[in-house]
Amino acid sequence: MTQELQHEEKTIEWCKTQSGGYSLMVDQTKIPYTYEKVEIKTLNSMYDAIKTMIVRGAPAIGIAGAHGCALFALELLSKIAPKEALEDIWNKNIPLNTTESQKTEFFKELEKGFDYLNSSRPTAVNLLWAIGEQKKIVENSKTLDLRDVCANLIEHAIKLENDDIKINKSIGDYGAQVIPKGAGILTHCNAGALATVGYGTALGVIRSAFAKDKTIQVFADETRPRGQGAKITTFELVRDNIPVTLITDGMCSYFMRNKMIDVVVVGADRIAANGDTANKIGTSTVAIAAKYYNIPFYVAAPKSTIDLSIKSGNDIIIELRDEEEVTMVNGKRICAEGVKIINPSFDVTDNSLIAGIITEDGIFKPEELKQKLQK
């Protein structure tokens, strides 16, 4: 590996420059083989980064969306602003002298770009939430100079980015309270630092628990077809010297039956008002097995992942991805030509299987969400 991820290093961050800045993110498609960062400077590049899973994990996708909104505003500004203003957008002494028609067109195109970015991945509600937060900034900035609109979008993206780490550490602290001493903890997919800006949700719980109890053991499902558990979760835990055993997705009931799993903690991409939870494909299978063996199953996620506008998991759109994710491994086909492939990226875990949803405000039963969190 070319470089190790430092514990407090951000997965995605805004890098400020005189002309506004750009988004810098870890290319997660290359882990664990290499650890590299890529600069994202345009709306289309951010769309592709989200779609191709260079950035992945619901909270990280949300921040990528916030960054993408700021990037597109800068792109639009570059088409109408004088060169000297673009070289230092923070300098309020350089007038833009934009016309009302230019401003009207700017906001019209901005909204189109935001909606386009939101279509990059349909299941993770954090993307919709973050873009919605940026839309509020735009709405409150419409009387301002366009340079100030861009600056406000940048500053708010940075705020959301920094808030994410604080939220995750709070999730970790609450979640650590339900981890028994010496527990065997099963997690599915990756909900760690690399799925967020830093620290993680499900892995945040594990990190906080490990800080208090060095005897815990983690079991990580490999998470076919993209192998986020094998490639990314184990990468993070090995880096933090947290004991981890990699198992294939079909092995969970073996370890549960043999009393090696005491608790399950997973992340989430969208949680309905009744607590039904969409997470990486295979999560529901783990939850069903956990219920059978009387093992508590917890979901760790920020409040931004909870979508109170939908009643149940039946209303969650499930992303279908390319069949080659299933048929190809390391560039080689692993099955016969002509076989039919259906590749849902997520499944929905029924609320009856969930012991609690761990948020930055505490741990809630699925049926408590609407009452406790609705504003």
Contacts of 176 (CB under 8 A, 6+ apart): 205, 208, 209, 211, 212
Q: Which of 164, 249, 262, 269 is catalytic?
A: 269
Is residue 243 within 8 Å of residue 153, measured between CB atoms? Answer: no
Residue 225: cis peptide before it, omega within 30 degrees of 0 = yes
**b/e code 203-226 from CB counts within 10 Å (16+ = b):** bbbbbbbbeeeeebbbbbbbbbbb
Handedness of CA 172, 177, 183, 186 (dihedral sign): negative
Gap between the Cα atoms of 43 and 51, Å rounded: 12
Contact 207, 199 (CB under 8 A): yes
Whole-angstrom distance, CA of residue 48 vs CA of residue 63: 15
Question: Do residues 233 and 190 touch, judged by C-beta distance below 8 A?
Answer: yes
Rounded CA-CA distance 137/122 in Å is 23
One-character DSSP codes across 23-73:
EEEE-GGGTTT---EEEE-SHHHHHHHHHTTSS-SHHHHHHHHHHHHHHHH
Alpha-carbon distance values, 222 to 230, 257, 283 (Å)? 4, 19, 12
Look up 269 and say whether it is catalytic.
Answer: yes
Residue 234: enclosing H or E segment and its boundaries? helix 234-239
Torsion of CA 362, 367, 368, 371, to 10 degrees: 140
Query: How many CB atoms are located within 10 Å of the residue 262 CB?
Result: 18
Phi-psi sector, 317: left (phi>0), alpha (psi -120 to 50), beta: beta
> What amino acid occupies position 240?
D
Q: Which residues are catalytic?
A: 269
